Amino acid sequence: MIPSTVPPKYKVFVDPERCMLCERCTTECSWGVYRRQGNKILTYPNRCGACLRCASLCPRDAITVTLNQSCGREHPVWTPEVKQDVVTQAKSGCILLSGMGNAKEYPIYFDKIVLDACQVTNPSIDPLREPMELRTYVGKKPEKLEFDYVEEEIDGKKVKKAKLKTKIAPNLKLDTPIMIGHMSYGALSLNSHKAMAKAVKECGTFMGTGEGGLHRDLYGYSDNIITQVASGRFGVNSEYLNKGAAIEIKIGQGAKPGIGGHLPGEKVSAEVSMTRMIPQGSDAISPAPHHDIYSIEDLAQLIRSLKEATRWKMPVFVKISAVHNVSAIANGIATSDADAVVIDGFKGGTGAAPKVFRDNVGIPIEVAIAAVDDRLREQGNRHKISIIASGGIRNSADVFKSIALGADAVYIGTAAMVAMGCTVCGRCYTGQCAWGIATQKPELVKRLEVDDAARRVANLIHAWTHEIQELLGAAGINSIESLRGNRDRLRGVGLSEIELNTLGIKQAGM
């Protein structure tokens, strides 16, 4: 093997004064950083990815993991990471893989947008006293309502009664505009899926299955599940399609726009193979395109075929990644019988992506939502389709800003994982997640306690929901409906004129 020529990224220190040699770190670390030798714990820091499982669980707080600063000359361009990547590729000649979302310092527009409260122009509302309507319906809305008037006799009198003539397309009913996006069983463990399913059920919202099929243990949650159909069609049959409340077609993903998915054979365990319906240990490949979709017309055909399979009882979403022509694509999707378009920004996470994609491809979600909402309104198509924003939603303010920019609802992914214990170490692609989240190894999976993790995720959604109510009250709005696309409630700070224009918001002070 060709040896590495860069020092480890992290420094792992075990304080001998504090350590009691319980050896817990040696079992907790799934990467093999620790080994006991005599009366000492030895460390192998080149294996460390700073997932911090060891430091969190050391009973004596003896472990510190720090960035290894002493690795050669400092250089603003040739940073340790850049050098490390070159060396790794020089060694292997292969594509670098990585997990989680974009790890580069691009501007986060959410942080350059402030919410504008109104004070007296639109007096504040007290959410503790007044009802705040967060109910969200995701799906097609009718352009107008039409009624039939029928005469009925009530107590001998003839009365005209109105009956709704317009047929309302099926919509998903959400108690909060926050859903959990699609992360497949296969990429994530079954315990993670169970925890998230419990949480969304409690919160009156939904989670996505991802493209890995639906494990039988989750059939009981079908009222809160959105099933996904990706190009690999893993686990897709009519039973699966009918086991959810909505279906999502995955065209693209924010973390890796334009490329397919690939679950390596090591992660295809017996249970995963059963759920995906492929042989154990073989690669699960979803190619970049759906091979029956080469145009918007073909997409419409797939949407309709899914509706046929479920007898037109469910909304069908289409997920695309945020890219420069996203508004034209979304407008096409709006005319193709889809009920919602999911736009996944470049900060979206993933189990595994080529690092070069994760860090360099795609555009921020903030501008994508604004552009899509604008275009759909211009074309008179906004009512035909809901917009779901995803990819880099970190807190309730991001949710609020997304909706004010034009989204109907959001998907969270990484935030839900962090709630369960993920430390965003970015090594999900190895299948060794020490927190039992992105792994299929039974001994690691059982580290994630389902009820506990479910409680945390549900708490997070509840907490954000309360905060959104407070924010609405401060803006003098009592329903999330009135916030949607209400960009007058937003102001930009430190943005150029062209950025403000693209986002469709005013400069602070205006």
Partner from other proteins, ligand SF4, none binding residue 241, C-beta < 5-8 Å depending on class: other proteins
| 58 interacts with ligand SF4 by CB under 6 A | yes
Beta bridge partners of 410: 178, 389
| 423 interacts with ligand SF4 by CB under 6 A | yes
| 19 interacts with ligand SF4 by CB under 6 A | yes
| 179 interacts with ligand SF4 by CB under 6 A | no
**Residue 164 has which token pair?**
């709704």
Contact 192, 453 (CB under 8 A): yes
Q: Which of 266, 297 has the CB closer to ligand SF4?
A: 266
Sign of the Cα torsion 322, 497, 474, 417 reads: positive
Q: Residue 216: helix, strand or coil by DSSP?
A: helix
The whole-angstrom separation of Cα 352 and Cα 426 is 9
Q: How far is the CB of 10 from other proteins (least distance, A)?
A: 11
| 285 interacts with other proteins by CB under 8 A | yes
Binding annotation = 19, 22, 25, 29, 48, 51, 54, 58
In this chain, which stretch among 20-28, 204-212, 269-277, 400-408 interacts with ligand SF4, using CB under 6 A?
20-28
Residues 6+ apart with CB under 8 A from 222: 243, 244, 245
Segment 389 to 418, residues that bind ligand SF4, using CB under 6 A: 417
Three state DSSP letters for 6-60: CCCCEEEEECCCCCCCCCHHHHHCCCCCEEEECCEEEECHHHCCCCCHHHHHCCC
Partner from other proteins, ligand SF4, none binding residue 329, C-beta < 5-8 Å depending on class: none
Candidates 4, 5, 13, 23; binder of ligand SF4 (CB under 6 A) is 23
Candidates 34, 51, 58, 84; binder of other proteins (CB under 8 A) is 84
Q: Residue 494: helix, strand or coil by DSSP?
A: coil
In this chain, which stretch among 17-25, 82-90, 212-220, 271-279 interacts with ligand SF4, using CB under 6 A?
17-25
| 279 interacts with other proteins by CB under 8 A | yes
Using CB under 6 A, count the residues that bind ligand SF4: 29
- Write the interaction track for ligand SF4 spanning residues 73-112; mark x where CB under 6 A is met and - where it is not: --------------------------xx------------
Q: Residue 340: helix, strand or coil by DSSP?
A: strand
Partner from ligand SF4, other proteins, none binding residue 438, C-beta < 5-8 Å depending on class: ligand SF4
In this chain, which stretch among 143-151, 164-172, 423-431, 493-501 interacts with other proteins, using CB under 8 A?
423-431
Residue 370 vs residues 26, 198, 353, 502, 505: alpha-carbon distances, Å = 49, 33, 27, 7, 9
The whole-angstrom separation of Cα 373 and Cα 331 is 9
Q: Which of 84, 390 has the CB closer to other proteins?
A: 84
The whole-angstrom separation of Cα 14 and Cα 34 is 10
Instruction: Find the length of the chain.
Output: 510
Binding annotation for [4Fe-4S] cluster = 19, 22, 25, 29, 48, 51, 54, 58
Radius of gyration for the chain, computed over Cα atoms and rounded to the nearest angstrom: 25
Residue 2 vs residues 103, 178, 276: alpha-carbon distances, Å = 27, 48, 37
| 20 interacts with other proteins by CB under 8 A | no
- String of DSSP letters for 270-338: HHHHHHHTS-TTS-EEE-SS-TT-SSHHHHHHHHHHHHHHTTT-S-EEEEEE--TTHHHHHHHHHTTT-
Report the interface residues with other proteins, using CB under 8 A: 31, 46-47, 49, 84-85, 88-89, 91-92, 94-98, 231-233, 236-239, 241, 262, 264-265, 273-274, 277-279, 281-283, 285, 287, 291-292, 301, 304-305, 308-312, 354-355, 426-427, 430
Residues that bind ligand SF4 (CB under 6 A): 14, 19-25, 41, 51, 58-60, 62-63, 99-100, 417, 422-428, 433, 435, 437-438
